[in-house]
Every structure is written in C-alpha cells, then in structure tokens.
Chains A and B, each alone.
Chain A
Amino acid sequence: MRTAFLRRFLQIIPVLILISIVTFSLTRLSGDPTTLLLPLDATEEQRDNLREQLGLNEPVHIQYLTFVGGVLQGDFGESFRYRQPALEIVMERVPATLELAAASLALALLIGLPAGVISAMRHGTITDGAVQFGAFIGQAMPPFYTGLLLLVFLGINVDWIPTGGREPGSLRHLLLPALTLAPFMIAIIARFTRSSVLDVMSRDYVRTARSKGISEMRVMTQHVLRNALIPVVTVIGLQVGALLGGAVITEVVFGWPGIGRLAVTSVLQRDFPVVQAVVMLTAVVFVFVNLIVDLLYTWMDPRIDLYEGTKS
C-alpha cells in the first residue's frame, strides 16, 4: 500500500517537469520582453542592459534552470504592469476563484447526485429521459450564454440580485456566478452517477440482497449507493480542469475578481509573468487534486491497486 502511494507520488514529478517546460516555452514564444518593459524610445544600450539583467543573454537551458529555480522558491518574476511579484498578485485572486468553484461544486453535488440516482432507479421511464435530456442541455450551454441569460432574466429584473462584482462572504453576489458554472458539472455528475448506479444494480450481489427479501430502500443505501458513488469521486477530480476553465468565462461575465479573469486581462495587457504564474498554478493544483482523488479512491475501495489497476 505504502509503496503504491509512493509510486503514484513519484509519477507526478515528470508531469510537473513537463508542465514547467511548457510554461517556460510560452514566455519565450512571446518575444523580447524588453520591448514591453521599456519605453518605445529606449536606446539599444538600455535594452541590452535589461536583457543582461533579466538573464536573456544566457543559453536557453540555463534560462530554464533559472526559471525553475525561481518557481521552486515561489518566484515567477515581477508583473510588468503592477510591479509586484506575479505570484503575489495571483494568490490575492485565488480565494475568489476557490469560493466560486466550491459553491458550484456544492450545487452540482446537491443536484447532480440525487438526479443521477433517481434517473437510474427509474431507468427507462419519463423521469430518466428528462434527467438525461437535462444533462445534455447542461453540457451544451456555454457558460457565457448561461451567465448572460441569467443576467437578462434575473440580474436586471430582480433588485436584490447583484449583476456583478464580489463581496467576500456575500452569498447574493455568488448566486449568479455559481448558477452559471454549475450546470456543466451537474450534467456530468448526474450522467456519471446514473451509469455507475445502473452498473452496480446489475451486479450479482445486489440480486442476492434483493432475493434475501431486504427492502428496496436498504438494498439501495446499503449495497448499491455505497459502491456506486466511489467512481463518482474520480470524475469530480477529472472535472477540476473543466471547472477552472468554466470559471474563467464566468469570472469575466460577472466581473468576479478571480484568477481566470486575471489571466484574461493579463494576456490582453501582455503581462506574461502573471499569465505564466496562473497557468503553472492551475496545472499544479490540477495535478495534486487528481493525486488526492486517486488516494481517496484507494482508501474508499481497498480492492483497487493504484499501480496495477483493479484487482479482480
């Protein structure tokens, strides 16, 4: 068990290295930063000095190692625009994105799980069809469309619902952004829960439990749900990327001061150290969330061996 954990942990190291290479290459693709950092009338000598100062005259692999060394110490360079460490600027926006993501995930679990379970229990009925249809709609709605429709119908017409911005701890401000980001997750969780429950319901041990004359209620809670909900955990882990992606658009629609909106404005202002910090941070968060999910999964279902796959 412990070696499996260790091995899973070691697996993420090459992933992190690759992520750092991609992120590093991104800024190198962006061209000569001295054109952005210095005024247009700067002399060639000033540019040379700055290049020297930023280490741009070093060979590429040295530059990469310097970059990684900095990143390991939390140094992503200074924001071109705010003249502050990039990581600091990003970290300031993290709570807002976390709040939004957590609220949407909570909504998605609250609606998606029961919807999926009911859909599976009423397999083949109108209820099932309605849930599945709803899930398709949820997956087809782009977040900017959902968000703006909510603004048109609720934000503009209902006095107490704010149309944008964030106040820490204010649920009113959180309402529309969370409703915008949640449908996609609701759809995914509902669909996955449905198929997982259906799968478990067809197993022999469930048939045995039924034939023993246990009430349907107990069969569902004791036998079906306990086993069916475990795989749902992994799906939630895999959707963290989608959640963060949806958060970018949602944050822009509602002027929500999170890292997604920061990424968009930084790209438009060509503030690359900040962009780099956002990309790196989200990727690392994603990798670790998946690690945690994997470990959680093994903990909940001891039959699964992380390295060898499912034991029969």
Chain B
Amino acid sequence: MSSVLRFLRRPTNLISVIILTLVVVASLWPVGWLPHDPIESDLIKRLIPPAWAEGGDPAYLLGTDNIGRDVFSRVIYGSRFSMLIATSAIVISAVLGIAAGVIAGYTGGRTDSVIMRLVDVQLAFPVIILLIAVVGVVGTGLVPLILVIGITGWAQYARIVRGSTLSIANTEYVEAARALGAGPIRIMFRDVLPNLTSEIIVLSSFGIARMLLLESGLSFLGLGIPPQYPSWGGMVGDSRDYLRSGWWILAFAGGAIALTVLAFNFLGDGLRDSLDPTTRARVKTKQKASK
C-alpha cells in the first residue's frame, strides 16, 4: 500500500491515474446511461456550441456535431473502441514480441541474428505507411485493424526483451537451474519471463499510447475504425470541414486522444522509475544526500 501511495505522490503519476480511471470508466459506461444517443442524428440540433459558450444548450455539455449528435456522448462512447483496439493490439504485440525476444536472447546464434534482422525490417517500415497499405488491401474492420496494428508492434518488445534475456541468461540462478537439469523451455518460462515482468509492464504502457496514436491516425484518414462506430480519430476527421463553425468537435475529440496518450506515457515513465530498483536506489540516496 505504501508503495502505491509513494507512486501517487509524484504529480504526473497522480494525473495519469486520474485520467486513466476516467477513461476506463468512460469506456465501460453503458450506452443507455449516456445523456444522448451517440449514433442517432438530429438535424435540428446541429452545431450547437458547448453549454458555456454563447448559444450553447445546457442539455449538450460539449455541443453537437454537424448532424446534431451530442459530442459529449460520442467522446465517452468513442473511448471504448479506442481502448479496446489499443489494449487488444498491445496484447498481440507483447505476446509475439516477448516470444521472439526471449527466444532470440536465450538461443543466440543463428536464430538470434535471424530474429534481429526481422526486427530491423519491421522497424524499417514507417509503420503508418505500411498500415495504410495493409488496411487498404485487407479492408477496414475492427478485428483486422486490431490484428494489423498489433502485429506491427512486436519489434519494440522483441528488441528490449532480447537484451534483458541476454543478461538474465548469464546470471547464476539460471546457471544453477541449468545445472539442475532444467530444459530451455522451462528456464525461459520459470526463470527468464518472471524477471521481465516490470519491464513488460512499462513497455506496454508506452505501447498502448503508441497504439492509440496509430489507431486514431488511421481512423482520422478514414482507414481505421469503420465509420459506423464513433472513434476519436474519426471524429477529428469529420471535424475538418467544420473548423470554423464547430471547433468544439475537434477540440474535445482530439483532446481526448492527446490526454489519454499523455496519461499512458506518464504512467509508463512513473512505473519505470518506481519498478526499476536501480533508479529507486538512486532516488533514495539522493534524498538522503539532500537531508
């Protein structure tokens, strides 16, 4: 408990936890409880400014869009698609990348160099151009989108996991396990993987942020989440024609993306500092020194 409190003492960590709690609540919020239907249009109510602005309507807190849908309800409803895609995609990336990284780092030799070449290739493709091409070919849809952006994220995991696996593989306890007759698979699962936990958590936090940016970029281009679902990126894309008459659509949908990405990056940074024993020791000695 005290470690949680210590974590929350850092302002950026606290901010990120608050934002992410709100995002998670928003993404689980039942559609029926939203103030307005996020899908149904109402042309009479189009382009109403936010409630506090001139001409605003208190019933529409963040205003309405070009076909009269409540921006607040859509931003809340849109969160579930962005979060679903980003988190599922990162699970795919993590599983593929960790497997590749552990195998490369533990086996070494040819396998290692082949896997690392593949990492180079993956990193060589500017992801969004590759995604545009792949989505253009396989078509849009929730599941293809998750698969496609998930698969492209493996290389970041593989590279870092490989590095740590290399150093873990040379430790005495792995040596001891090997001496006791444990096979490579057992060592990978029982000795190597558990020691990678905090690193994987940190990577995933940054990874979700990256996935959110990728998905919203694709949705903005009309190549991401199919248009029948409200997504943050798609809403920003729709707002382009109403920059003058409906700035609030852009402001709130785009703001939701930026804040969520910011929160995941803060979280990743905070977790890295508090999970990494070397930095924790450093902070402690620094505190002692300043006393």
Using a CB–CB cutoff of 8 Å, the interface residues on chain A facing chain B are 11, 14-15, 18-19, 22, 26-27, 29-30, 133, 136-137, 139-145, 148-149, 151-152, 156, 238, 241-242, 244-245, 248-249, 252-253, 260, 263-264, 267-268, 270, 272, 275-276, 278-279, 282-283, 286-287, 290
Bound Cα distance A133, B255 (Å): 17
The docked-state distance in angstroms from the alpha carbon of A149 to that of B130 is 27
In the complex, the answer to whether A279 meets B236 with C-beta atoms within 8 Å is no
- Other A-B pairs beyond A244-B126, A244-B129, A249-B128, 7, CB < 8 Å: A15-B124, A19-B125, A136-B269, A264-B132, A267-B135, A278-B133, A279-B130
Give the 8 A-B residue pairs with the shortest CB-CB distance, closest first.
A267-B136, A145-B254, A140-B262, A245-B128, A140-B261, A244-B126, A241-B126, A30-B137
* Alpha-carbon distance A156/B11, docked complex (angstroms): 36
B254 near A142 (CB under 8 angstroms)? yes
Residues of B within 8 A of A (CB): 12, 117-118, 120-121, 123-130, 132-138, 209, 213, 216-217, 220-223, 233, 236-237, 239-240, 243-244, 247, 250-251, 254-255, 257-259, 261-262, 265-266, 269
- What is the minimal beta-carbon distance from B154 to any residue of chain A, in angstroms? 14
Q: Are A286 and B124 in touch, CB under 8 angstroms?
A: yes
Q: Are A22 and B129 in contact (CB under 8 A)?
A: no
Give the dominant DSSP class at B's interface: helix
Residue of A18, A248, A278 near B121 (CB, 8 A) is A18
B257 interface neighbour in A145, A241, A252, A283, Cβ under 8 Å: A145
Rounded to whole Å, the gap between the CB of A195 and the closest CB of chain B is 12
B257 touches A152 (CB 8 A): no
Which residues of A have CB within 8 Å of B12? 133, 136
Residues B121 and A275 in contact, CB atoms below 8 Å apart = no
Per DSSP, chain A at the interface is: helix
When chains A and B are docked, how far (Å) is the Cα of A248 from the Cα of B130?
A: 11
A264 near B124 with CB under 8 A, answer: no
Per the bound structure, the CA–CA distance linking A270 and B138 in Å amounts to: 11
In the complex, are the beta carbons of A282 and B117 less than 8 A apart? no
Instruction: For the complex formed, measure the closest distance between the CB of B263 and the CB atoms of chain A, giving whole angstroms.
Output: 8
Enumerate chain A residues within 8 angstroms of B121, measured Cβ to Cβ.
15, 18-19, 22
Which chain A residues lie closer than 8 Å to B251 at the CB level?
149
Which residues of B lie under 8 Å from residue A141 when comparing CB positions?
Answer: 258
Task: Specify which of A18, A29, A248, A287 is in contact with B138 (CB 8 Å cutoff).
Answer: A29
